[in-house]
Amino acid sequence: MIIHSPQPWGDFAGEERFFEGNLEAWRALEEAYNAGKIRAIGVSNFEQADLANLLNNASIKPMLNQVLAHISNTPFDLIEYCESKGILVEAYSPVAHGKILDHKEIAEMAAKYGVSVPQLSIRYCLELGLLPLPKTANPDHMRTNAAVDFEISAADMDVLKSIDRIKDYGDANMFPVYGAKL
């Protein structure tokens, strides 16, 4: 079970970090965890300061931080911080909410490996040590999204890491996590 966001949706990415509220919500998760009601507890959309608030004041550290991470938009500093604290990073929208399917450069690299753009995108997350969380309503996509037993070379990972950020998530722009405010 995770805390979806350190802030109310309408204040997403604002300056107020709601440290006290997060500690209270976290205490509730800790109680449920200690009572054996849930098997793992974590957070989502937490930045370094939000994590530090829990790490400095709580008794159980978050087991996982679920954040937006995909080719062209990867929070490398936050990932490094989480790794240094032993917190698994789960990459939501690893296929960029479907917005990288027709990206020319990524498509060319996928073709080079003989895989689809979603497969390359999911493998990219795995190479970074992240836990990818793709979504699909299509059973064929589900099968191929799980078939990612190949390796992306270090040189190609460097190329993928430096691809310009996708800023337009189409209809999903209305959701604060994709960059726009509600």
Ligand X SMILES: NC(=O)c1ccc[n+]([C@@H]2O[C@H](COP(=O)([O-])OP(=O)(O)OC[C@H]3O[C@@H](n4cnc5c(N)ncnc54)[C@H](OP(=O)(O)O)[C@@H]3O)[C@@H](O)[C@H]2O)c1
Residues near ligand X (CB under 6 A): 4, 44-45, 66, 92-98, 101, 116, 118, 133-138, 141, 144-145, 177
CB of 102 to ligand X, least distance (A): 11
Q: How far is the CB of 61 from ligand X (least distance, A)?
A: 19
**Closer of 34 and 150 to ligand X (Cβ):** 150
By C-beta, is 75 or 98 nearer to ligand X?
98
In this structure, the number of other CB atoms found within 10 A of the CB of residue 182 comes to: 10
Indicate the residue among 53 and 118 with the shorter CB distance to ligand X: 118
Token pair, residue 8, equals 């109310």
Say if strands 88-92 and 64-68 run parallel, antiparallel, or are unpaired.
Answer: parallel
Cα–Cα distance for residue pair 83/78, rounded to 1 Å: 9
Q: State the minimum distance, in angstroms, from the CB of residue 116 to ligand X.
A: 6
Rounded Cα distance between 79 and 87, Å, is: 9
Nearer to ligand X, 62 or 118 (CB): 118
C-alpha span between 27 and 60 (Å, rounded): 9
